[in-house]
Amino acid sequence: MIYGDRDPVARSENLAEFVPNVEVVCLDCGHWIQQEKPEETNQAILRWLDKRDDA
């Protein structure tokens, strides 16, 4: 899950109960992470995908 640190939408504190093996990435932005931090968002997604390839 990728969150923006300044997102006014509340985060789920118990996300791991609903999403097994969840990984959380927080970026210094608001709600529209892909528009506000496109390169950082892409890098977070690519790192996550690379971990899947290694498994």
For 1-52, what is each residue's pLDDT tens digit? 999 999 999 888 888 899 988 999 999 999 999 999 999 999 999 999 998 8
| C-beta of residue 29 within 8 angstroms of C-beta of residue 5 | yes
Q: What is the pLDDT of residue 55?
A: 63
pTM of the model: 0.82
Extents of the domains making up the chain: 2-54
